[in-house]
Amino acid sequence: MEDATPFTPAVPTDTWLRFALAFTDSTRLCRHLRRSCPDPADAGSRIQRYVNDRQGDLPECLAQGIKESQLAALFSDATTQRCEQALAWQAQSPLNHLLGLDHPAYPTLLQNTDDAPPLLYARGSLSALDYPLLAVVGSRKASHAALTHTRSLCRELADMGIGIVSGLALGVDAAAHQSALQARQDGRRGGPTIAIAATPANRVYPDRHTELDARIVDSGGLVLSEYPLGSATRPWHFPRRNRLISGISLGVLVMEAGLPSGTLTTATHAMNQGREVMAVPGSVSNLQSRGCHFLIKQGAALIEETRDVIDVLGPSLHRAQVIPGSLPINARQSELALEDPPLSPAEQALLETLRANSATLDELMTHSALSISRLASLLGLLETKGLITTTAGGRYACC
């Protein structure tokens, strides 16, 4: 799926690419640079000027992070060769992208964090970044109940046009991606899913998720990585990439997590980045739920159903969808997010009932034979989509 509109960065891609490949700690150096010039385009221009003619104040901007003599790595043959390899990878397919920090498609929420990488490698459709995004994370060895709940929540959220972000790992991550993919089957316009990889963009880990990775790309989703092509994957790459999972998202939903747990690092990054943090409670006897209970004690929102997520994200979703530019989200997001979301058969049936006559919750239970929890969830979804409202007498009616 090729993006219809090409993106043109303000600074040539190979400028950011060279900077990212020349230094193993390029993200830290980028943070130093942005202290002097917070605007990404301005920062890129300073790098470009130094690369082109070795002039400008780049050495001064990076003085606290690197010695001027070390800037010679920008011009080394090894850096040049790696740049050529990355550019060749990008040219291999219209689905391969290199996103410098000032690229129009670079996730703006992430761009505004302290640890935004100078370059991202992407495979898939950049349009996936235009949707309001929610990160869904949890244990690799999740319980059956947690996986079932993940599938239900993510399917309903994706049906509403919310993009699901996760880490392509086993357990909760895989369930989140797979459920979002179901919302885009048969030509339906559900929210996409985005995988943040701890490996280079041309490698899939774990190997058993090769097919899942391909389905994400083929469905109009996206795989993102900050790690250079051909680089070795280290254990610390996994917790480090978690800041990207939270960084591109409006909030983080933790489905199940032990204590201590690598999953909790994503929640910690979310808190530091000013994102909404949510957690699903579990049985007190389940050790895999203790991380969620800890987060709830620390102030994370307690989530039981889809409506709870919408209530927490409500202000962020409203700003993202209705007031373009009020949140640092790509300009096309508001247009895509306002498309009429598809209705499930159960939602459609309930809506048809209310189109005939308004009804109370008890009347709807009698008519539909649904459980109260399922009925409340469906009513919440329809209300969130702006299709029904609650009257003063406690009756539900079509808008």
Report the amino acid identity of residue 357.
N
Confidence of residue 340 (pLDDT cuts 50, 70, 90): very low
The predicted pLDDT at position 323 comes to 30
pLDDT digits 0-9 by tens, 238-265: 999 999 999 999 999 999 999 888 889 9
Q: Distance between CA atoms of 161 and 189, rounded to whole angstroms?
A: 7
pLDDT at 388 over 70: yes
Q: Distance between CA atoms of 105 and 304, rounded to whole angstroms?
A: 33
pLDDT at 331 over 60: no
The predicted pLDDT at position 4 comes to 46
Lowest mean pLDDT among 1-10, 76-85, 118-127, 268-277: 1-10
Q: How far is CA 242 from the centre of its chain?
A: 10
Please report the DSSP string for 137-190 in residue order: E--TT--HHHHHHHHHHHHHHHHTT-EEEE---TTHHHHHHHHHHHTTGGG---
Confidence of residue 187 (pLDDT cuts 50, 70, 90): low
The pLDDT of 346-355, averaged and rounded, is: 83
pLDDT at 287 over 80: yes
The predicted pLDDT at position 315 comes to 67
pLDDT at 386 over 80: no
The predicted pLDDT at position 302 comes to 96
pLDDT at 337 over 60: no
The predicted pLDDT at position 335 comes to 37
Confidence of residue 9 (pLDDT cuts 50, 70, 90): low
The predicted pLDDT at position 345 comes to 81
The predicted pLDDT at position 45 comes to 93
Confidence of residue 219 (pLDDT cuts 50, 70, 90): very high
In the chain, which residue ranges form alpha helices assigned H by DSSP?
Answer: 13-22, 26-36, 40-53, 58-61, 77-92, 108-111, 144-159, 172-182, 210-218, 237-247, 263-272, 290-297, 306-322, 333-337, 345-356, 361-368, 372-384
Contact 49, 37 (CB under 8 A): no
pLDDT at 212 over 60: yes
The pLDDT of 172-184, averaged and rounded, is: 95
Confidence of residue 186 (pLDDT cuts 50, 70, 90): low
pLDDT at 235 over 60: yes
pLDDT at 33 over 60: yes
pLDDT digits 0-9 by tens, 36-46: 889 999 999 99
268: Cβ–Cβ under 8 A, 6 or more apart, which residues? Answer: none
The predicted pLDDT at position 394 comes to 64
Contact 44, 15 (CB under 8 A): yes
Lowest mean pLDDT among 17-26, 310-319, 334-343: 334-343
Residue 307 vs residue 362, higher pLDDT = 307
Mean pLDDT of the residues in the chain? 86
Confidence of residue 8 (pLDDT cuts 50, 70, 90): low
- Rounded to 5°, the CA angle 240-241-246 comes to 110
Lowest mean pLDDT among 176-190, 253-267, 344-358: 344-358
The predicted pLDDT at position 7 comes to 59
Confidence of residue 74 (pLDDT cuts 50, 70, 90): very high
Report the interhelical angle of 372-384 vs 345-356 (nearest 10°).
80
The predicted pLDDT at position 256 comes to 95
Confidence of residue 85 (pLDDT cuts 50, 70, 90): very high
pLDDT at 298 over 50: yes
pLDDT at 190 over 90: no
pLDDT at 322 over 50: no
